[in-house]
Amino acid sequence: MNKKIVIVGAGVAGVNAATKLVDNGYPGELITIIDMGKDPYNRLPEEVMTGFLGAGGWSDGKLTYHTAIGGQLSKYTGEEKAMELMDQVITNFKRFHPKPEEVQCSDPHEEPEFIKPYFGLRLFPVWHVGTDYLSEIAKNWYDYLVSKGVKFSWNLKVTKIDFNLGIFDVESNEYTTQQDCDNCTGVYDELIFAVGKSGIDFAQQLAQQYKLPDEPKSVQIGVRFEAPQEHFQKLIDISYDFKLYRKFDDEGVSLRSFCTNNNAAYVAVEETYGDLSYNGHAKKDPKYRNNMTNFGILMEINGINNPFEWSRNVVNKLQFGGRGLYYSPSRTPSKTSEGEEINAFQIEFLDGVKEVMGEYWNYIEDFIEDMKKVFPTLKDDWGVYIPEVKYLSPEPLVYPSDLALVDYPDVHFVGDALSARGITVSGAQGILAVSKLIKKEDAWDNIHGDIVHW
Ligand SMILES: Cc1cc2nc3c(=O)[nH]c(=O)nc-3n(C[C@H](O)[C@H](O)[C@H](O)COP(=O)(O)OP(=O)(O)OC[C@H]3O[C@@H](n4cnc5c(N)ncnc54)[C@H](O)[C@@H]3O)c2cc1C
């Protein structure tokens, strides 16, 4: 327990990794977390992607609890270990929650008859924390880690990592004081690379630089759908975060509703590479209630060459005047929970969108048309924010025991930077990555050499 551990990214994965270490007696003074965002006391609501707890910090806080949801975990650990790791993440969120009894679980067991002719429904438990409590959790969690001696460097972006020498460079931003950046090169014995979606270009750059072997990924693109909640209430009563899905195996396309937010549900704007895309979150406090529902309608498209570049190009073309798009047959865009306009340009016709997305747009249109049949009051009372996108990082080849790169065993890729797509899986990967460093009984000691092959 004397290695200097550097965690790049104070998101869900990085924070759970640090917590696992200090909970098991690892000296906090040997752990440094570097993040290009701000600490939870200074992070602003519009800073959706960066800062303490990362994209999870202003998310909806839906903690999904199933190995088929939220990205890859069980392929590294097996089912049982995966569930146990996710349990640890959920326990952490409850532990730092000011009112843990308010974390509700939705756990549907049966697909309702009324959706069956048109959609399948994924059945899995989900705990809902809520965006407003997340920032309270973040403060309590941060204070705990600081009290254990963990060192945080805020507003610093890691720009280079030399995997051979174990050194890295950081760059300051407008918020960094000179003092913070006096020493802009650092060293590590073990590096946890936990940069999430906001660091995906950096992950790509390193993958190319070090020729990391990886697995081809799919494109994940679609829209954020929004409508008054009443239209979907009969399904929400069964499943808070309902996942409607359909598959077109022959065409390499599947669709699912994704990350449903209800009651006090707001559309969130994400900025990646200078382009806007959309997501959603929901608050718990009844004062924010707007009786709206929003969810992604996401297509998974397989077989596209260079899916990352393809997605970036499509997202870039779906912008107007530096804003994403909003289309509705009858509505105007909603407001954020702070009462601000959602940054989206309203379009009257979908021709331009169809031109950019080609035949893939038809899948989305059909999905909406069929929802109108399943939820008959919906009619034209809906709108879509275009696009919603999940950039999937190339998934480098790692040892399943601690998610270390096969060629650089002191560098661990975790969270959305590896193969996760949600909070519980990202956190669980963070915990898995450091379990061997504490050498406790729950370290999953599948010795190096047991490489996952695809
Ligand atoms: C609006 C919104 C709502 C969501 N809702 C849900 C939900 O309800 N349930 C769910 O399961 N998932 C949800 N997600 C997804 C979830 O938040 C992510 O899957 C999860 O946060 C990924 O964790 P991570 O630690 O890998 O990355 P992140 O949490 O994104 O953290 C990465 C951190 O790395 C930092 N970083 C990046 N690059 C660098 C660099 N070069 N140098 C220094 N720091 C860097 C960033 O500042 C960031 O803080 C949501 C996401 C968004 C944006």
CB distance 186 to ligand 1 below 6 Å? no
- Shortest CA distance to 307 belongs to which of 226, 381, 383, 214? 214
How would you write the pLDDT of the chain (454 residues) with one tens digit per residue?
689 999 999 999 999 999 999 999 999 999 999 999 999 999 998 898 999 999 988 887 889 999 988 888 999 999 999 999 999 999 999 999 999 988 888 888 888 899 988 998 888 889 988 888 999 999 999 999 999 999 999 999 999 999 999 999 998 776 665 555 555 789 999 999 999 999 988 998 999 999 998 877 889 999 999 999 999 999 999 888 888 999 998 999 999 999 999 999 999 999 888 999 999 998 888 899 999 999 999 999 998 988 888 999 999 999 999 999 999 999 999 999 888 999 999 999 999 999 999 999 999 999 999 999 999 999 999 999 999 999 877 789 999 999 999 999 999 999 999 989 899 999 999 999 999 998 754 444 443 434 332 2
Copy the structure tokens of residue 31: 């752990």
As a whole number of angstroms, the distance between CA 333 and CA 34 comes to: 36
Q: Does ligand 1 have an atom closer than 6 angstroms to the CB of 86?
A: no
Contact residues for 424 (Cβ-Cβ < 8 A; gap 6+) = 63, 64, 65, 70, 86, 89, 90
Strand partners, 151: 32
Partners of 269 in the beta sheet?
278
**Would you call 11 helix, strand, or coil by DSSP?**
strand
Residue 205: in which H helix or E strand, if any?
helix 200-209
CA distance 398 to 205: 17
Q: How far is CA 240 from the centre of its chain?
A: 18
Beta bridge partners of 120: 245
* Ligand 1 centroid from CA 374, angstroms: 33
Residue the block writes with tokens 């249109």: 365
Q: Ligand 1: does its nearest atom lie under 6 Å from the Cβ of 217?
A: no
pLDDT at 444: 45
Phi, psi of 72 (to 5 degrees): -85, 125
Ligand 1 atom closest to Cα of 280?
Answer: 1
- For residue 185, report the phi and psi dihedrals to the nearest 5 degrees: -125, 140
Classify 9 in phi/psi space as left (phi over 0), alpha (psi -120 to 50) or beta.
Answer: left
Query: Count of CB atoms within 10 A of residue 114's CB?
Result: 14
Instruction: Name residues whose C-beta falls within 8 Å of residue 59's C-beta, 6 or more positions apart in sequence.
Output: 131, 134, 279, 281, 423
Residue 79 phi/psi, 5-degree rounding, is -65, -50
Tell me, in angstroms, the distance from the centre of ligand 1 to residue 45's CA.
Answer: 14
Residues 6+ apart with CB under 8 A from 69: 122, 124, 243, 422, 425
Identify the residue whose C-alpha is closest to ligand 1 atom 13. Answer: 422
- Model confidence pTM above 0.75: yes
d(CA 283, CA 290): 10
CA proximity to 56, closest of 72, 40, 67, 34: 40
Going by their DSSP bridges, the two strands 120-122 and 104-106 should be labelled as unpaired
Q: Is the CB of 383 under 6 A from ligand 1?
A: no
The three-class DSSP label of residue 63 is strand
- Counting other chains too, the contacts that 99-104 makes at CB distance below 8 Å and 24 or more residues apart are 99/133, 102/130, 102/133, 102/284, 103/127, 103/128, 103/129, 104/128, 104/240
From 416, 421, 434, mutation site for ligand 1 pocket: most ligand atoms within 8 A of C-beta: 416
